[in-house]
């Protein structure tokens, strides 16, 4: 018998039995080791950002895109400059109102306790969310401003005064209430933004007041709003752990 025949015979004679209990044991141990190793692994910052991105409800971004689209389509049709001004201002305020539900989400659904147990701190979770919103909104506003300049023939000064400034005002209210030590609901924030929108509308409606304010004043107000928003965002992230500590004390006292 040559070598190949011998090996072939040996192979046919040797039957290998597969024990189901051993297969199940292998599956169990494989799963255990996989989960154990996964627990040791930490998410990278990009993976964490991607996870937060998946959790954000995209419908608010879609609403913002539609809002900008309607502003782009409807406002140039009006020949009345007053309607154009107030329309831009209202669009700017509504743009901020549409992100309020997402920023207030963890308070609304009382998931601060769950987020407090996460490996990444509440501060980091909120930083990630604000970064994601910032990036998305910046992209939308960049496209809108380019479209406004090219197609609606709006100057940069008009865009800043009539759209960005009321938007910044609403953002100041939103982030100011978010970092407030008092528990303010998203409804209050929305109402105050709407009130701000109404105030802005009255200011732009009054031709005397509107024309008398110099461009430098508008820019100064915009800069002040930007500084306030930056400070509010910083305070929001630093104070989040304090809010969590006071909430824990409340729970323990019950």
Decide if residue 43 touches another protein (CB under 8 A).
Answer: no
What contacts 51, CB < 8 A, 6 or more positions away? 43
Decide if residue 46 touches another protein (CB under 8 A).
Answer: no
**Angle at Cα 174 formed by Cα 74 and Cα 61, nearest 5°?**
45
Q: Which of residues 155-214 bind another protein (CB under 8 A)?
A: none
Q: Please name the helix (run of DSSP H) or strand (run of DSSP E) that holds residue 203, with its range, or none.
A: helix 186-205
Decide if residue 253 touches another protein (CB under 8 A).
Answer: no
Cα dihedral sign, 138-243-100-228? negative
For residue 143, the Cα-to-chain-centroid distance in whole angstroms is 18
Asked if residues 104 and 193 have their Cβ atoms less than 8 Å apart, the reply is no
Decide if residue 11 touches another protein (CB under 8 A).
Answer: yes
38 or 80: whose CB is closer to another protein? Answer: 38
Q: What is the CA radius of gyration of the chain?
A: 29
For residue 200, the Cα-to-chain-centroid distance in whole angstroms is 25
Question: Pick from 19, 153, 249, 252: which binds another protein (CB under 8 A)?
Answer: 19
Per CB under 8 A, the segment of 28-36, 120-128, 145-153, 240-248 that binds another protein is: 28-36
Site size with another protein, rule: CB under 8 A: 29
Helices (H) and strands (E) in the chain, counts: 14, 0
- Minimum CB separation of residue 79 from another protein in Å reads 56
Q: What is the largest CA-CA distance in the chain?
A: 112
Decide if residue 6 touches another protein (CB under 8 A).
Answer: yes
10 or 109: whose CB is closer to another protein? Answer: 10
7 or 217: whose CB is closer to another protein? Answer: 7
Decide if residue 33 touches another protein (CB under 8 A).
Answer: yes
- In this structure, the number of other CB atoms found within 10 A of the CB of residue 194 comes to 16
What contacts 201, CB < 8 A, 6 or more positions away? 86, 89, 90
Decide if residue 251 touches another protein (CB under 8 A).
Answer: no
Decide if residue 18 touches another protein (CB under 8 A).
Answer: yes
19 or 249: whose CB is closer to another protein? Answer: 19
Decide if residue 15 touches another protein (CB under 8 A).
Answer: yes
Decide if residue 7 touches another protein (CB under 8 A).
Answer: yes
Q: Which residues bind to another protein, rule: CB under 8 A?
A: 3-4, 6-11, 13-19, 22-23, 25-27, 29-31, 33-35, 37-38, 41
């Amino acid at each position: 018998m040559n070598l190949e025949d011998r090996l072939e015979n040996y192979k046919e004679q040797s039957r290998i039995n597969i024990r189901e209990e051993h297969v199940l044991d292998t599956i169990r141990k494989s799963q255990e080791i996989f989960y154990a190793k996964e627990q040791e692994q930490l998410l990278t910052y990009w993976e964490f950002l991607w996870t937060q991105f998946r959790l954000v409800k995209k419908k608010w971004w879609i609403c913002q895109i539609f809002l900008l689209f309607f502003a782009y389509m409807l406002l140039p049709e009006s020949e009345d400059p007053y309607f154009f001004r107030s329309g831009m201002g209202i669009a700017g305020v509504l743009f901020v109102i549409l992100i309020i539900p997402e920023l207030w989400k963890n308070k609304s659904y009382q998931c601060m306790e769950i987020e407090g147990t996460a490996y990444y701190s509440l501060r980091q979770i909120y930083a990630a969310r604000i970064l994601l919103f910032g990036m998305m909104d910046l992209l939308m506003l960049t496209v809108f401003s380019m479209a406004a300049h090219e197609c609606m023939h709006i100057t940069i000064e008009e865009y800043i005064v009539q759209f960005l400034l009321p938007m910044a005002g609403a953002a100041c209210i939103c982030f100011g209430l978010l970092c407030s030590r008092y528990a303010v609901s998203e409804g209050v924030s929305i109402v105050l933004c709407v009130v701000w929108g109404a105030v802005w509308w009255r200011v732009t409606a009054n031709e005397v007041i509107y024309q008398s304010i110099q461009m430098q004043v508008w820019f100064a107000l915009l800069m002040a709003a930007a500084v306030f928003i930056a400070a509010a965002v910083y305070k929001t992230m630093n104070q989040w752990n304090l809010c969590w500590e006071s909430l824990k004390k409340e729970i323990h006292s019950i």
